[in-house]
Structure formats: C-alpha cells, structure tokens
Structure 1
Amino acid sequence: MKLKDGIALLSLAALWGASFLFIRIASPVFGPILTIQGRVIIAAFALVLYLVITKKSLHFKKRWRQYLIIGALNAAIPFTLIATSALHLPASMSSILNSLTPLFTALVVFVWTKEKLSIRKLIGIIVGLIGVILLVGWSSIPFTYDVKIAIGLAVLSTISYGIAGVYAKKAFDRVPPLSLAAGQQIGAAIILLPFTFLNFTASTEKVSGVAILAVLGLALFCTAIAYLLYFYLIESVGPTKTLSVTFLIPVFGIIWGVLILKEHITLGMLFGFLVILCGVFLISDIRLRVITSNKRMQV
C-alpha cells in the first residue's frame, strides 16, 4: 500500500471513529432524530454538489424506491439507533459495539442467501458475541435498565447495517458507489422527515456552538468526506484492504472518547474489544499472503 493510500485509510478510520464522538456530543442536545436528520441532509447536499461539479448522474427518479430502502437500512435506522444509544453509552463503547457489523452481516447472508457458513466464520461469530459479553460485563458503566436498552439498540444498528449490505449488493449492482452514497443520504433524509417535525423540540437554551459544530462535523467530515475517501480506497487498493478500516474505527473511537470526552477505559473493555476484533478477523476471511520476488516481498 502506497503512503498516500495508508494516510487515506487512517484518515477514514479517524473520521468514522469521530462520528461516535460527535453523536455523543450532539444527541443529548438536539435529540437523536434531529441529530441524524442534520447529518444526512447536510451530507446529501454536499455529495450531490460534488456529483454536479464532477458531472455525474444520481438517477434518483429511476431508483428512488431503492434509495429509500437503502437510506432506511444503511443510514436512517442505524444512525438513529446509535444516536439514541449514545444518550447512555460512552462514545468508545458505541464504536466498539459497532465493530460487530461484519459478524451480523455474515449471519444475514446466511439467512437471506442460504450461503453456507464456514467453520471459520461460525467460530468468528461465537468469538465476537463472547467479546460483547466480556465488554459489557467488565465495563465500569452501571448496568442499569437504560444502559441495557442502549446496548441492545447499538447491536440492532449493526444488524441493520448487515441487512443493508446484502440488499445493496442485490439492488445496486451497476450503480456507481458515489451515486449510491448520495442517494442513500437523500433517501434517509426523506424517511426521517415526518419524525423530524414531531421531534423538533430542541431548547434554544441547550443549543450551543459545540453541538452545532458536532452536527456539521458529523455530516461533512464523518459522512460526505469519509465516503469520498472510502470510494477512493476501493478504487485504489481494492475492497479487501479497505475492509481493514473495520479494525481501526474502534481504535479511533476509543482515542477520541478518551482525549476529547475524558472517558474512562478499563482493561475489561480493552480485552472485550480485542476478543471482538478476533471474531471480526475470522469473519472477514483476511489472510496474509506473501509474494516473493528477486526485488521485494509484499505482505
């Protein structure tokens, strides 16, 4: 991997890891619905503007139904679940729980397409679930009713991501990824619109410049710019190497939580996190391949 690709990968992980930080800041102020509506509508505007500048088509009229579905499954539902859970969970724990997405994607593929689960993947799912138990059980967070619900919502968001991944593969086979990203955000904004009016209750006394900046950062940096980096990496280094961002997002989620929000990380949380990553590693089917030549060796 070239230096600029490595920097792009780390930048993507840092941005997606920061999304949990921004949600943790904005959600208690604006509420989950308004926070996520701000995220998707601003990101949609930025991505559509980029499409216009680069003279690429969205084909929204032709695929509006599919965009609504993927917008619900891959943005509106999981984003809102995460924002709701962030009312009670630290950003670091939310980012760790989010790393369960590949595990539940494998389960969705098994149920939806009847694709056989390999022993490696089955072990990966079991290991990942054990990691969640360790993460929750050894956390310093009081295991109250609200926290239990928040953890459940965070896990449900990863299931929604898993369903979205399988659906996208079937419904958007020949759609340019950037068009899919923009259409997804538009679809999510439309889905959330009626709920936005019902939840427009943010108090002007609570609203602060920090909370507004958090929503802007969430939309522009963690969504619009992050998607541009993601698709650049897909084209430059391929999907397999880009998948390694899954391992880095929780790392940055923990770093931002500790540095910015002064969150406390226990050894139990770190151990649970490592166990989950082991499960993700098994699910992802990543293998080290060594290619030797007279001039160099690549891993």
Structure 2
Amino acid sequence: MKARDVSELLILAALWGGSFLFMRVAAPQFGPAALIELRVGLAAVLLLPVLAWRGRLAPLWRKAGPLLFVGVTNSALPFVLYAWAALSVTAGFASIVNATSPLFAALVAWVWLKDRLSPAAIVGLLVGLLGVMILVWGKASFRAGGSGWAVAACLAATLNYGIAANFTKRYLSGVDPMAIATGSQFYAALVLAPFAVWLWPQAMPAREAWIAVLLLAFACTGVAYVMYFRLIAHVGPARAIAVTFLIPVFGMLWGALLLDEAITVNMLSGCAVILAGTGLATGAIRLPRRPGVEQSRG
C-alpha cells in the first residue's frame, strides 16, 4: 500500500475506535435510542448529498426492503446495543469485542449460507472464542452491579454485524457499496425515530455530550464510511479489512488517554487472542504447512 493509503487506514481505525469513546461520553445523557437516532440520522444527512452528487440514489428505493434489513442489523440494533453496553463497560473493552465481527460473519456464513469452513477458519473460530473467554473473565456476572448483560449486548451486536454481512453478500451483491452505507443509515434512522421520540431525555444534555454526538455522527459514521469505501477502491477489500485489527488499539488508547480507563492484562491478552483468531478466520494469518507436503498440480 502507498503511504497515503496507510495514513487513511490509520485515520479510519482512529475514527472507528473513537466511536466507542463518544458513545461512552454521550450515552449516559442521551440514552441509547436517542443517541443512535442522532448518530444514524445525521450520518444520513451527510451521506445522502454525496450519493446524490454521484447520481446513485436509485438503489435506495429499488432495494428498500434489503436496505431496511441491513439498516436494522448493521446499524440500528448493534449501535443501540453498544450504546447501552457503554453505560457499563469501557470503550476499550467494547472495541475489543467488536473485533469478533469477522468471526461471527464466518460462523453465520457456515450455518446460513452453508459456506465451507477451512481448517484455518475452524481454528480461528475456536481461538477467537478462547479470546472472548479471556476478555470477559471476571466480568460476565449477571448479578447486581455485574457487567454480564453489557457483555452479552456487545456480543449480540457483533452477531448482528455477521448476519448483516452475509445478508448483504446474498441479497445486495452488485449494489453500489456507498448506496448500501447511505441506505442503511437512512432506514436505521426511520426505524429508530419513534423510539428516540419516546425515550428522548427530559433534561438537556451537556455541551460535551452534544459534541460527542456530532463527532460520532459526522466523523465516526459519515466521514468514516466515505473513507472506507474510498480505501476499498484504492487497495481492495482484503487489505481494507485490516482496519479491524487496528480499531481495538485506538479504542483502548482513546479510553485510556481521554477517559482515564484502565487497560487490564485480561484486555490485552484477550485482544491478542481474538485478533489472532480473526486473522485465521479471515485468511490474514495462515497456518504453517506441514513440511514435506506439497500441493498437487493438475
């Protein structure tokens, strides 16, 4: 990759890692539903003119049904779950759990689409599961004051990402990715609107919470999507997915620097093991071949 592409990859990871920080700041004052309605709604306001300028608005109504489903499973529901979890767990912790998304995508593809799992992918899933167990060790208590439900919410969010990825592959193949990104935010905003109105905070949130919302919507969602698809166009999806491995680094960094969150041994160990499993499941890391075994050629 060129230096410019590497820079964009790092900026994108910093933005997506920052989203967990901003949810941690804004969720206590806005509540999950109102916060995420603002996130996806304002992101749609930013992305719609970009899509219109490119002359590609047609898929938004031609593929309304599939885009609605993706909007719910890839934005509305997982974003709300992460925002709710942010009331109990740190930004760094949530960003590490987010790295399991490719593992869930592989698992859903195997169960739903009957995709064959390679030996490396199977090992990756098992390694990733071990990483999650290390990460949540001592946290997954469902008693009063425990973080068990918040951990479950984070995992449910990543499961939704896996469902959305496979649904997109099956029903939105060939649709402009930018139209998918824009449509998913637009339909997510429509779905969440009544809940946001019903659960809108009674007290006006503080200025720092509003700043967090604006950065979450415009930078971490709107601008980040534009950068991501620009990166895919320049270096291809296989290299662009490397951002998955960098998000937890920035999630922990921002949490430690700006919110004084602790980075524990469990977090570092769990993160390393989860990323190793993700690398194996996605093919970014390959198992060593047995010596003396060569691939036959026809």
The two structures have a TM-score, normalised by structure 2, of: 0.92
Q: Which residue does the alignment assign to 2:160?
A: 160
Q: Distance in 1 between matches of 2:151 and 2:23?
A: 15
Aligned-residue CA RMSD in angstroms?
A: 1.6
Counterpart contact for 1:138–1:269, Cα < 8 Å: no
Aligned amino acid, residue 97 of structure 2: L
Q: Which residue does the alignment assign to 1:10?
A: 10
2:52 aligned with 1:52: yes
Q: Distance in 2 between matches of 1:42 and 1:262?
A: 29
Q: Distance in 2 between matches of 1:138 and 1:276?
A: 17
Matches for 1:75-90 after TM superposition, within 5 Å: 75-90=75-90
Q: Which residue does the alignment assign to 2:241?
A: 243
Q: Which residue does the alignment assign to 1:98?
A: 98
Q: Distance in 1 between matches of 2:11 and 2:201?
A: 34
Q: Distance in 1 between matches of 2:119 and 2:194?
A: 45
Aligned amino acid, residue 13 of structure 1: A
- Deviation at 1:173? 1.1
Q: Distance in 1 between matches of 2:284 and 2:248?
A: 18
Q: Distance in 1 between matches of 2:60 and 2:127?
A: 41
Aligned amino acid, residue 36 of structure 2: I
Counterpart contact for 1:29–1:202, Cα < 8 Å: no
- Deviation at 1:121? 1.0
2:245 aligned with 1:230: no
Q: 1:285 aligns with which of 258, 283, 286?
A: 283
The residue matched to 2:112 in structure 1 has which SS?
helix
Q: Which residue does the alignment assign to 2:252?
A: 254
Q: Which residue does the alignment assign to 2:292?
A: none
Q: Which residue does the alignment assign to 2:128?
A: 128
Q: How many pairs align?
A: 285
2:213 aligned with 1:215: yes
Q: Which residue does the alignment assign to 1:294?
A: none
Aligned amino acid, residue 157 of structure 1: A
Q: Distance in 1 between matches of 2:96 and 2:67?
A: 28
Q: Distance in 2 between matches of 1:133 and 1:116?
A: 25
- Deviation at 1:58? 4.1
Aligned amino acid, residue 278 of structure 1: A
Aligned amino acid, residue 230 of structure 1: Y
Counterpart contact for 1:51–1:58, Cα < 8 Å: no
- Deviation at 1:144? 4.8
**Where does structure 2 lack aligned partners over 5 or more consecutive residues?**
287-298
The two structures have a TM-score, normalised by structure 1, of: 0.92
- Deviation at 1:3? 0.6
Q: Distance in 1 between matches of 2:61 and 2:117?
A: 38
Q: Distance in 2 between matches of 1:59 and 1:67?
A: 9
2:31 aligned with 1:31: yes
- Deviation at 1:143? 7.5
Of 79-88 and 190-199, deviating more is: 190-199
**1:82-132 C-alpha deviation (Å, 9 max, x unpaired):** 001111000000000111101111110000111122221111111111111
**Where does structure 1 lack aligned partners over 5 or more consecutive residues?**
289-299
Matches for 1:164-175 after TM superposition, within 5 Å: 164-175=164-175
Q: Distance in 2 between matches of 1:24 and 1:60?
A: 31
Counterpart contact for 1:58–1:182, Cα < 8 Å: no
The residue matched to 1:113 in structure 2 has which SS?
coil
Counterpart contact for 2:59–2:175, Cα < 8 Å: no
Q: Distance in 2 between matches of 1:154 and 1:60?
A: 29
Q: Distance in 1 between matches of 2:56 and 2:62?
A: 15
Matches for 1:110-149 after TM superposition, within 5 Å: 110-137=110-137, 144-145=143-144, 146-149=146-149
**1:33-67 C-alpha deviation (Å, 9 max, x unpaired):** 00100000000010002123333324322121111
Counterpart contact for 1:128–1:280, Cα < 8 Å: yes
- Deviation at 1:202? 3.9
- Deviation at 1:30? 0.2
